[in-house]
Amino acid sequence: MPDEQLWTELDVIAPLGDKISVTGAAQLRLSEELPNPTYSSAALDFNYKTGSWTLSAGYRHQVTGDRGEEDYPIITQLARLTATYAWRMGRDTVLFRARIENTITASGNPWRIRVRGEYRWATPGLGAISYLFTSDEVFYQASDNEWFRNRFQAGMNLIATTRTGIRLYYQRQDSKNTTPGAINALGITAAITF
């Protein structure tokens, strides 16, 4: 039976110039069945936008509720490189994102690749709802040489103020190598831009 979870995130974006920005992010995930929090993280990304492309390099410090050999939460550190392409067609936007992650604290082959496609439909007649979206993301683990996770989302983006947006979504995640293998999540992401 899938685990029911709440995924929350706060993104703070600060421009450093016309094309460069820095994003700080904090995440907290809670579960109905597992020890809480199931996951928490803090991240920092430097972003460069050129035309339809956004390139990012960053670091994430994360703590999972899984217990290690000494019954402590597992702490990992990730280095990340991300490339995102946004293709706009009138009210529609299609985004493709590829992310390469390296678990700095792991031994062996700690590389992971994530590929995500997203479709957004702008909704200028729906008040605070700026767009509806759906996305799907697949994960590849180099150490196991397999695609091991699929993450589907559907939801909306709300404009709270001129500098604040709130993304609400439903997510279904299915994984081969983690417990629980299936997660139904309600997601809330707040983004503040300075």
- Domain count for the chain, please give it: 1
Structure tokens at 147: 């695609």
Q: In whole angstroms, give the CA distance from residue 129 to residue 123.
A: 7
Q: In whole angstroms, give the CA distance from residue 16 to residue 189.
A: 23
CATH of the domain at 65: 2.40.128.140
Q: What share of the chain is helix, strand, coil (3-state, %, to 5)?
A: 0, 75, 25
Mean pLDDT of all residues in 63-83:
82
Q: Is the pTM of this model over 0.95?
A: no
pLDDT digits (tens, 9 = 90+) for 122-180: 999 888 999 999 999 999 999 889 999 999 999 999 999 999 999 999 999 999 988 88
Mean pLDDT of all residues in 45-58:
98
Q: What size, in residues, is the chain?
A: 194
Lowest mean pLDDT among 4-18, 54-68, 92-106, 108-122: 54-68
Question: Which is it for strands 164-175 and 146-161: parallel, antiparallel or unpaired?
Answer: antiparallel
Structural domain containing residue 9:
3-193
